[in-house]
Structure 1
């Protein structure tokens, strides 16, 4: 038996594995490979665990990396914007940082935790 055969009906190559011919399938390659940061990794894990159909569709269509890179970029921008706005509204300024750095660090940590929670709810786990 031949190791590889070609089926003219569907245009696929098949490889002999034991007693069976298995189609030689590959995923489409993505045109550009953007790096995926923390937010994109979290969203990927969420898709794998809770939205398997969406994850599989994106993976097999070759659009997963671009999608996750976009999610990562949106989440990072939203996080930066929220922290900036919350700090401005709550009076956490550079002047406070110069006068009482420990208070500034504590308040900024609280602001970042709230902003992180908003980003998680609005983008990552949506």
Structure 2
């Protein structure tokens, strides 16, 4: 871990000197996949989660994963639609909705397995 030389100030509380630490707040809120990954890390890999949180790499990791998951979702949906064309939306709307939901569920299952829970 490469730590930059930072000026750290301390507060005296009782007999102890504690560092004055602040975490920078993210500017863009996390999306669905970023929040899912954060919860997974927090529950199943707490040491990694805390380490990433303290050294400032958690939020960039979650944002990168969010963007990757969204782009993979779009790419995979396009590929699945080429392989399995949807019914005509105007003639049979319920079949179209059912078909699109099925493709989305398949795509999301792959993304969750490959990106979020790995």
Query: What is the TM-score with the length of structure 2 in the denominator?
Result: 0.82
- Bigger fraction of residues in strand: 1
**Does 2:10 correspond to 1:16?**
no
* Deviation for aligned residue 1:92: 1.3
**Does 2:103 correspond to 1:108?**
no
Larger Rg: 1
**Does 2:45 correspond to 1:42?**
no
Q: Give the 3-state SS of the residue equivalent to 1:60 in structure 2.
A: helix
Aligned-pair Cα RMSD in Å = 1.9
> 1:124: which partner in 2?
116
Structure 2: stretches of 5+ with no match in the other structure: 1-7
* Structure 1 residue ranges, 4+ long, deviating more than 2 angstroms after superposition: 27-30, 32-35
Structure 1: stretches of 5+ with no match in the other structure: 1-10
Q: Give the 3-state SS of the residue equivalent to 1:99 in structure 2.
A: coil
